Amino acid sequence: NSGLSLQGRGFSKAMTAKEAQAFVGDVSCLVNTLQDEKLFLDPPSTPPRARSRRQRRDTRPELLDLTIKFGKGEWVVGLVKYETKNDLSLYIIIPAVIVPMLLIIAISVYCYRRKSQQAEREYEKVKHQLENLEESVRDRCKKEFTDLMIEMEDHTNDLSEGRIPFLDYKTYTDRVFFLTSKDGANDVMITGRLEIPHARRGTVMQALNQFSNLLNSKTFLINFIRTLERSNDFNARAKVYFASLLTVALHGKLEYYTDIMRTLLLELMEEYVHSKNPKLMLRRSETVVERMLCNWMSICLYQFLKDSAGEPLYKLFRAIKHQIEKGPVDARVKKAKYTLNDTGLLGDDVEYSVLTLQVLVQDEGPDVTSVKVLNCDTISQVKEKIIEQVYKNLPYSQRPKVDSVTLEWRPGSTGQILSDLDLTSQKEGRWKRINTLAHYNVRDNATLVLSRVPQTQQNYDQNQENHEERNALLEDDKVFHLVRPADELDEIKSKRGSIKDKSMTKAITEIYLTRLLSVKGTLQQFVDDFFRSVLCTGAVVPPAVKYFFDFLDEQALKHSVDDETIHIWKTNSLPLRFWVNILKNPNFIFDIHVSEVVDASLSVIAQTFMDACTKSEHKLSRDSPSNKLLYAKEISTYKKMVDDYYKGIRQMVPVSDQDMNTHLAEVSRSHTDKLKTQVALHQLYQYASKYYDGIIASLDEDPAAQSKQLTLRLQQIAAALENKVTDL
């Protein structure tokens, strides 16, 4: 502690140093020096207690009175504070902690701002580079687009004559509902074949009709669905399949189906709004009702596809197919020179030339068909192009298949059968190259004969091929078309690749991106036309879309759901649930074949459509997926189209329940008789049988079910269908 000094006047006249007394709190302190105007004191080394409780109200406990006594007089001349160790340490700690903290915060803010600015600059740079790349290929795109339009003109004339190969309603629903099931095209709902003994057919059909009546009881059906969804082994695939069976079984009463769907959706909304993330609702088909909604949209939009959106979708498919087939396509690795998909891009620069073949079809008259092919095409690819051109007026399912025809080249008096693999196939080490027109030295304007292989001959060929040739083909199945896959030896060599080779990678990537941009630019008009046809409120909007979107708006208002969430609900229920599915699988609505290379490009457009429907912004960088780079310029336009579409629908005149029911009744009346309702009922009963005990228990606990004797009715149906006596 340091000494204390007091200032005043006349100290030495009034007293001596010995006579003066000083106190800090209740402890006396030494009077060191007494001068006329100054008094020097040595206070106690440790903080004393307060002398008395007569402290002023404005003093704090740590402040002690400094008292001077002389004779009978006593004066409080000031306050003394002792600094504690804590106080001292705080003076050291606070600056030691706060200064580095402020420094770290300042550095972090600086780094963040710098990184943000850097990312922004990177974004602008990438965007600028993309614009420059697009500019560089714009003239080529215009020329390619003009060529494409000229080459597709004949096909456009076919479209105007109503030759778009739309599937009938039955085939369309079969493909949308059941083609993705585990049995695919062999699913019983597609084949329609039920194995029922003839003696029991009458009893089974009668019981299935009774089961149909039972499904038309809302109390039973809701209990049925809830019981299944509570079961752990009722997985996502089973839910999708069950919902599709239910859609077919109730197709005759679509108003009732819609009522069930609404009831289940209201339950789902309650669950998501109160206990889950509402934005995830309808994102996937994780419940029966989500798949029911998907099927309902598919049913209600079939006519809209035929009347409006189908034609631009078909033109887009044809344009993609035509553009891809203008360049080499590797039949083995399914990669193409012209594509929108970077993973499906044929990296190697393949030399090729365009040939025009004169094709005669055996037993179909003397007419010759000119067909454009590439000399690097495999024989199967040539057959496909010939069949496509010769039978262009027939839908795909009615055309001969590649395996059912032979191709004969007649360079002179004798003919030569062309095939993908034969004894003349070239070998490169352990690899065998698939034969092409160039391999056979087929020239431009060559005459080829396409002939059908008789069915008996096909069967014979499959079982009894030339033994020697068969052995030659099977001795090594390492075959390739344009690009030979890397062997182990090649991989070792590539690891020793020079720095120069690696430095070329970046340039090569840019070349490939230019090629993707070229294809994108050529197809742009077709993509835009399809998006406009789907996202346009100026034309006719299907009543189901307006009706369902109003239902979502109504529920969003009730649950105080924000605008972003309602946007996501609408996106999940229509664009992602229906349009993306149709865009990726045009064979669901058209009688066509979608090859893997065409599918790869369709997937890029579908992803762009999905991106357009999201609210979140994707910042571009060099690491962004190629599809996002490709459509970086257009995505903001597409997003606005989606927003305007949703706003436009909201402003439309509402569709009443009565109008919607009238529309649904018309769909039921027009198409139900074409569907395999009895097969669907039979398959649905398999679920009732599997979860029988749970369903019975659920019905027994429901008073409404008891009053309608639903348990008894199910037991009677089970007795008839399973040919057994039950405990009635």
Q: Does residue 135 or residue 461 have the better pLDDT?
A: 135
Question: Are residues 361 and 428 located together in one domain of the fold?
Answer: yes
Domain end position, chosen among 481, 511, 528: 481
Query: How would you classify the pairing of strands 431-433 and 479-480?
Result: parallel
The answer to whether the beta carbons of residues 667 and 253 sit under 8 Å apart is no
pLDDT at residue 24 above 90?
no
Question: Are residues 41 and 123 located together in one domain of the fold?
Answer: no
Domain that residue 455 falls in: 351-464+476-481
pLDDT in tens, 473-527: 555 568 999 988 776 555 555 555 555 454 444 444 566 777 888 899 899 999 9
Does 377 map to a domain? yes
The pair of three-digit structure tokens given for residue 85, joined into one six-digit string = 């160790």
pLDDT at residue 331 above 50?
yes
Three-state SS at 358: strand
Question: Are residues 403 and 427 located together in one domain of the fold?
Answer: yes
> What are the two backbone dihedrals, phi and then psi, of residue 77, each rounded to the nearest 5 degrees?
-100, -5
Res 465: pLDDT: 47
Does 636 map to a domain? no
Q: Does residue 180 or residue 255 have the better pLDDT?
A: 255
Does 279 map to a domain? no
Res 395: pLDDT: 94
Question: Are residues 144 and 39 located together in one domain of the fold?
Answer: no
* Gap between the Cα atoms of 50 and 67, Å rounded: 11
pLDDT in tens, 683-711: 999 999 999 999 999 999 999 999 999 99
**What helix, strand, coil percent values describe the chain, rounded to 5?**
60, 10, 30
Q: Does residue 394 or residue 509 have the better pLDDT?
A: 394
Q: Does residue 411 or residue 125 have the better pLDDT?
A: 411
Does 168 map to a domain? no
Helix (H) / strand (E) containing 416: strand 416-418
pLDDT at residue 232 above 70?
yes
Res 728: pLDDT: 41
How confident is residue 648, by pLDDT bands cut at 50, 70 and 90? very high
Most confident residue range from 14-23, 374-383, 608-617: 374-383
Express as a percent the part of the chain with pLDDT over 70: 84
Does 227 map to a domain? no
Span 148-156, mean pLDDT?
58
The answer to whether the beta carbons of residues 255 and 664 sit under 8 Å apart is yes
Res 636: pLDDT: 92
Helix (H) / strand (E) containing 335: strand 335-336
Question: Are residues 451 and 363 located together in one domain of the fold?
Answer: yes
Question: Are residues 17 and 69 located together in one domain of the fold?
Answer: yes
The pair of three-digit structure tokens given for residue 381, joined into one six-digit string = 């690819």
Of 27-36, 78-87, 289-298, least confident by mean pLDDT is 78-87
Q: Is the dihedral of CA 297, 299, 301, 302 positive or negative?
A: positive
Domain end position, chosen among 125, 158, 191: 158
Res 193: pLDDT: 83
Q: How far apart are the first and last CA of the chain?
A: 102
Domain end position, chosen among 456, 481, 506: 481
pLDDT at residue 464 above 60?
no
pLDDT at residue 29 above 60?
yes
Query: How would you classify the pairing of strands 431-433 and 427-428?
Result: antiparallel
Does 585 map to a domain? no
pLDDT at residue 17 above 80?
no
* Gap between the Cα atoms of 454 and 477, Å rounded: 28
Question: Are residues 44 and 148 located together in one domain of the fold?
Answer: no
Contacts of 305 (CB under 8 A, 6+ apart): 166, 313, 582, 589
How confident is residue 108, by pLDDT bands cut at 50, 70 and 90? confident
Question: Are residues 147 and 115 located together in one domain of the fold?
Answer: yes
Q: Does residue 714 or residue 147 have the better pLDDT?
A: 714
Q: How many domains does the chain have?
A: 3
Does 716 map to a domain? no
Question: Are residues 355 and 456 located together in one domain of the fold?
Answer: yes
Contacts of 581 (CB under 8 A, 6+ apart): 176, 294, 588
Does 331 map to a domain? no
Q: Does residue 530 or residue 275 have the better pLDDT?
A: 530
Other beta carbons within 10 Å of 178: 21
Residue among 198, 245, 215, 208 at smallest CA distance from 716: 208
| pTM (predicted TM-score) | 0.77
Q: What CATH number does the domain containing 405 carry? A: 3.10.20.90
Three-state SS at 653: coil
Res 494: pLDDT: 57
Res 449: pLDDT: 95
Question: Are residues 75 and 94 located together in one domain of the fold?
Answer: no
pLDDT in tens, 559-588: 999 999 999 999 999 999 999 999 999 999
Cα 722 to its chain centre, rounded Å, is 43
Question: Are residues 112 and 74 located together in one domain of the fold?
Answer: no
Question: Are residues 72 and 131 located together in one domain of the fold?
Answer: no
pLDDT at residue 450 above 90?
yes
